[in-house]
Structure 1
C-alpha cells in the first residue's frame, strides 16, 4: 500500500470532490470516502486481484466492507472518475526537453494506437488512441474505442501550432485534410500505396524511379499533388532518404517474416520503396528535408510509451467482461501510467535515441 500512497500523492487536489461529482460514490455504503475507494481501486489495478480477493483486501485493510459483487459494481462506476483525473494529469507539464530552434513555437505530437484484448471466449478488442507531446512527455489527448474504430488522425482534436507525427497507418488524404482544416502541421510516414502522387499537369509521378537516383546521404524533396479515387488534389511535400545498409537488411527480414506470417507476397516495388524513409508534410521549404526526416525519428517515443503500458502495467490484456468494467479498467491503468510519468519526470532525464 505504500507504493499506492506514493502514486496517490500525485493525484489532482480535487480528486475526492471529483469522485462525488462523477458518481463513483453516491451512497457511502461499503466504502466511506473517495480516498479509500481510490486505494482499493489502485490495488486492484496494480495487482489484478479477483473480486473475491478484493473483498477480503477491503476487510483486512479496513478500507471497506463489501462483497465481491458490491466491489465490482463500485469499480464499474469509477470509469468516468478515472477519465476526469486523466484529463487533468494529461494537461500538466511533466518534462520540458530542449527543442531544435525551428520547433520552439510548435507543440510536437506523436500519435499511435494500441489494441487491448479481453480475456475469455468473447475475445473483444478495445483500442487506445493516444497523442503524446514528445517534448513535455504528456498526453495531449486519448480515446478508448472498440476495434471497429480505425487508426486515424481524425480521432484527435487538432489546433494551430500542433506538429503531428504519425506512422504509415495515418498517412491518407482524410488525415491530411483534417490537419489542413485545423491549421495543424504534420509529418506522416508513407507507404507505397498511401495515395497517388501527381505533378501540376496531372501526370502520375514514379517516386521509386526518383528515389533510385539518390546518392548516399542525399535527400529527395518534392512538391507534388496527393490524389485519391475521388479526384481530390492536395498540395503535399514529400521528403525521402535511403536507409543505411544495416537498416535495409533489417527491413528485408521484417518483410520476409510478414510474408511468412500472413501467407502473402509483397511486391518487389513495395520492398524497394521500404528501403527509404519517405514522409509527407505540409511544412514550408524554410525547413530542410534533413530536419523534417530527423524530426520524424522522434515518433518512437510514443511506441516506447505503449511498450511500458503493456509490459509494466499489463495493459495488453483485459481481465474484465462487462463493458463498464472494461472502460474503468482501461482508464484506471492509464491513470496509473500517467502518475508514474509524473514521478519519473521529477528525476529529469533526456530521452535516448531509438535504435
Structure 2
C-alpha cells in the first residue's frame, strides 16, 4: 500500500462514515407519501460540507454511497450534480438501504475497512457517528491504516469530529465517553444526548437549560477533550448551539428564528457537523480547534439550508455562482454574522 495514494493525501478535506439512506416519508392524509428521498446521516453531513465547497473544491467532500439493485437512476443523477468526491459502490446482490417514516439511519455507522484503498482514508477530517467505544476503535484503526499506507514516518493526524449515537448517551456509558473524548478534536451531541450521559434533564420550560448545559460541558472539558485543546459544540435546535473550548464559551442562535421557515428538522444536526468540519479546516489561519467559533457559524448556515424543505435543498447555478434554495451561501453567512454582532448571550 505504501505510496499508493501519496499524491492524493491533500485531495479530501472531509469524510463522513455516516450512512446513505433512501427515505420514504409518510404524512397524515390527504398529503401523499414522499418516496425516494436522499437521506441518512452520511448524506446530510456531506451536504453540510458541500454547501461550503463550490466546484472544484466540491471534490474534497468524501462520503460513501452503496447502490443496491433497486437504486433509482434519478438519484444517481442527483448525487452526480453535487460533483463531490463520493465513493459509489455497486452492490447488485442486495437492495439499497431504505428508511421509513422519519428514520434517517443515524444509528448506523461505517467500518474503517470501507476506507482501505481509497482517497477517503487520507481525509483531513472525519465525521464519526457511533458509540464511545466504537469511536475509539475507528480512530485507532484509521490512524493505523494511514501509517501502513505511508512511507513517511510523520503521518499527519486528521481532525476527528464525534457525534455520539443517541441510544448510548446514558450514564452507563459515561466512563467510556470520557475515554473517547481523549481521542477526538470536537464532540458534538445535542442537548438531550449531553444530558443523557449525566442522567440530567437539559430542557427548560421555554428554552433549553442554558446553565446546566454549560456546567456539563465544563465537566467534559475539565476531564480533557483531545490533547486538552479540543472543543465541545452542543446543538440545541431552535435555541442554537453552545461552543466551548479552553478560554471560549459562547452561545449562538439558530439561523431560522421562525418555525414557519423549518419544513423538516431531519438531518439538521448532521448537516451542521459537515459545515463545522470544513470550517475547522478553512475557517481561519489557526489550527483546527482554535477555529471552533467560526466553524460553528458555518455549521449553523449548513443546517439552515438542510431544514427548509423535505429532503435536500435545491442546488442551482447563477451568474454569481451557486445558490441553495435560491440563496447564496456567502450572503447568508454575512447576514448571520451581522446578527451575531448584536446577539445577547442567554
Give TM-score scaled by structure 1 length.
Answer: 0.33
Q: Which has the larger radius of gyration?
A: 1
Give TM-score scaled by structure 2 length.
Answer: 0.34
